[in-house]
Amino acid sequence: MQILFIGDIFGRPGRTIVKERLPGLVKEHALDLVIANGENVAAGFGITPALAEDLFDIGIDVLTSGNHIWDKREIISYFEEADGNPYSTARRLLRPANYPPRMPGWGIYQGSKGQIPYAVLNLQGRVFMPSNDDPFRVVDQLLNETSAKVILVDMHAEATSEKISMGWYLDGRVTALVGTHTHVPTADERVLPGGTAYVTDVGMTGPHDGVIGVKKELILDRFLTNMPIRFEAATGDVRLNGIVVDCDETTGRARGIKRITLR
Ligand SMILES: [Fe+2]
Ligand SMILES: [Fe+2]
């Protein structure tokens, strides 16, 4: 089974490059499953129901997210509308599973491709991030809930140490653990000894001529003056950052992981 994970899709530039390049990627890598982080889809801040549906329509199977998930308030009712209805499209949008109980949404999706069951899990780190429940304990609970062999985990976190630790913690228990949130791809992709594909950060799909997606002049001004500023999405040097995981669908073990950058 070939799985593509696309790093944080940022604003219209990110959505456009995904639309343009996904069909070619599906063909080239014989992809079976496509997952993307969608926390920055709406001009860099959150995601709306319509934008989520657009991405599902062009062939993304599951969207994960992170700390920006509540930036667009409409997403709350999107989650609520799918509550109790496992067949709703909205069920395919995730927020980190280790958020406090009673928050709308969920952090696990279980589906199947052909006859192959799979699960996608979404976690958020706690180092240099808002406080949440322990992602290590929460992932143990989630893994008890699924019998799928093919399991992909998006660990949305700031600290490299926390993501690497989660990689070792899950080695041999999931197909792939990929990091997101920093928007900067790391060159440490590998298959860990237990058969889990790992990368600390997939990177960002969007404008790379700014500062992690935002216009560089605005961010520079903020560093120089410490004044609050209104963020605006950058527009140039648009790249698609992703990784392709090759796995044995009967055991769920990864055979390889490849980093992808398209311009
Ligand atoms: Fe992001
Ligand atoms: Fe984030």
Tokens at 244, concatenated:
């392709």
Q: Which ligand is nearest to the CA of 129?
A: 2
d(CA 253, CA 250): 8
Q: How far is the CA of 213 from the centre of ligand 2 (A)?
A: 11
pLDDT at 40 over 90: yes
Question: Residue 237: what pLDDT?
Answer: 98
Tokens at 240, concatenated:
């698609």
Question: Residue 84: what pLDDT?
Answer: 84
Question: Residue 66: what pLDDT?
Answer: 98
Identify the band that residue 168 occupies on the pLDDT scale cut at 50, 70 and 90. Answer: very high
Question: Residue 86: what pLDDT?
Answer: 80
Q: How far is the CA of 47 from the centre of ligand 1 (A)?
A: 11
Q: How far is the CA of 25 from the centre of ligand 1 (A)?
A: 22
pLDDT tens, position by position, 185-222: 999 999 999 999 999 999 999 999 999 999 999 999 99
Residue count of the chain, please give it. Answer: 263
Cβ atoms 173, 184 nearer than 8 A: no
DSSP-derived 3-state class of residue 113: strand
Question: Residue 83: what pLDDT?
Answer: 87
Query: Parallel, antiparallel, or unpaired: how do β-strands 2-6 and 62-64 relate?
Result: unpaired
Q: Per residue in 12-41, is it b (16+ CB within 10 Å) or e — as a string? A: bbbbebbeebbeebeeebebbbbbbbbbbb
Mean pLDDT rounded to a whole number for the chain: 97
Tokens at 228, concatenated:
């609050």
Q: Which ligand is nearest to the CA of 204?
A: 1
Question: Residue 184: what pLDDT?
Answer: 98
Q: How far is the CA of 183 from the centre of ligand 2 (A)?
A: 8
**Is 29 annotated as catalytic?**
no
Mean pLDDT, to the nearest integer, of 58-80? 97
The backbone torsions φ and ψ at residue 102, rounded to the nearest 5 degrees and listed phi first, read: 85, -5
Q: How far is the CA of 39 from the centre of ligand 2 (A)?
A: 7
Listed residues: CB within 5 A of ion ligand 1: 8, 39-40
Q: Is 84 exposed, middle or buried (0-12, 13-18, 19+ CB in 10 A)?
A: exposed
Residue bearing tokens 């594909």: 197
* CA 205-86-135 angle, 5° bins: 55
Question: Residue 68: what pLDDT?
Answer: 97
d(CA 141, CA 150): 17
Identify the band that residue 225 occupies on the pLDDT scale cut at 50, 70 and 90. Answer: very high
